[in-house]
Amino acid sequence: MASQYQQYSTVRKYWQLMRPHTLTAAIVPVLVGTATAKLFMTGSEDHLKFSLFLAMLIACLLIQAATNMFNEYYDFKKGLDDHTSVGIGGAIVRNGMSPKLVLNLAIAFYIIAALLGIFLAVASSFWILPVGLVCMAVGYLYTGGPMPISWTPFGELFSGVFMGMVIILIAFFIQTGNLQWYAFWISIPIVITIGLINMANNIRDRVKDKESGRKTLPILLGKNNSVRLMGLLYIVAYLFVIGLIIFHPGASLFYLLVLLSFNMPIKAVRRFKKNDTPQTMMPAMAATGKTNTIFGILYALGIYLSGLAGVI
């Protein structure tokens, strides 16, 4: 019994190290990009390539998990994490994992992701390689390097653009062999919902981050203005989807499935307004991750159903 508990505890440590609540930020863009590719497959021989979808999905999950590990490692090295830190992180300071092991795991995940990238490049275009390398570099530089992105006001922008837009465009490209402006426009709501996961984390940690010398967006704006901006951006995301339906002939009413998730960002904003300590803001932060998950899945489903209906 003790041995089984120890094994469970070890698995749980590794699972928490990957910060699973953030992994949907890797899954959703692949789903949306692949679903968008379906819109442009009109011939009887056109079909989604499942092997490319799966390789892309695993590579993105590995990069996201490795980015979280780099974050864990460098936050510890810079003294930002200790036993009082709030959040799912803490594999080093609370679970006793070796910093070197965390770093080596992150590097191993990057190597496997790079190998999958080579497979995708062979199957589609070698232009995938430099774009993928840039995404991996951004993942590392988010907390690594001499000027980490996470110490600047641009963390939300980088996470939204590179995890949202760029991944959607790559997922679209490997299925179709080309790029369309429509794939760019369709990515905007996901750029927002992923960026707001990052903002939620920065709102929660703003006091400790400020003490360490960081200048994140919530530190510059203050909590109240950051929460107002979060609410505004969620509204923009939903209005953008409605705008696609109104102004773009390729969109369909299936996109309105995203409205089924509308109560989730409301919960996130209300919880941030109501609470002000890192511990009490954890449910609000979790709500932003759930919003991205449910919004993204419904969005991808609506796009995919449009493709099946042959809207474009």
Residue 8 lies in a domain: no
Q: Which of 93-97, 126-130, 148-152, 186-190 has the lowest mean pLDDT?
A: 93-97
Q: What is the pLDDT of residue 212?
A: 84
Percent of all residues in the chain with a pLDDT value above 70, rounded to a whole number:
88
Residue 74 lies in a domain: yes
Residue 106 lies in a domain: yes
Residue 5 lies in a domain: no
The residue-averaged pLDDT of 182-186 equals 94
Residue, of 150 and 32, whose pLDDT is higher: 32
Is residue 14 pLDDT above 90, yes or no? no
248, containing H or E segment = none
Q: How many domains does the chain have?
A: 1
Q: Which of 10-19, 133-142, 262-271 has the lowest mean pLDDT?
A: 10-19
Give the C-alpha separation, 264 to 294, whole Å. Answer: 9
Of the candidates 222, 227, 234, the residue with the CA atom closest to the CA atom of residue 281: 227
What CATH number has the domain bearing residue 287? 1.10.600
Q: What is the pLDDT of residue 267?
A: 94
Q: What is the pLDDT of residue 89?
A: 56
Residue 39 lies in a domain: yes
pLDDT digits (tens, 9 = 90+) for 199-246: 999 999 898 888 888 899 999 999 999 999 999 999 999 999 999 999
Residue 257 lies in a domain: yes
Q: What is the pLDDT of residue 81?
A: 58
Confidence band for 272, pLDDT divided at 50, 70 and 90 = very high
Domain carrying residue 283: 26-308
Q: Where are the alpha helices (DSSP H) in 126-262?
A: 128-141, 155-159, 167-176, 181-204, 206-212, 217-221, 223-247
The residue-averaged pLDDT of 95-115 equals 88
Residue 11 lies in a domain: no
Residue 18 lies in a domain: no
Is residue 46 pLDDT above 90, yes or no? no
Assign 277 to helix, strand or coil: coil
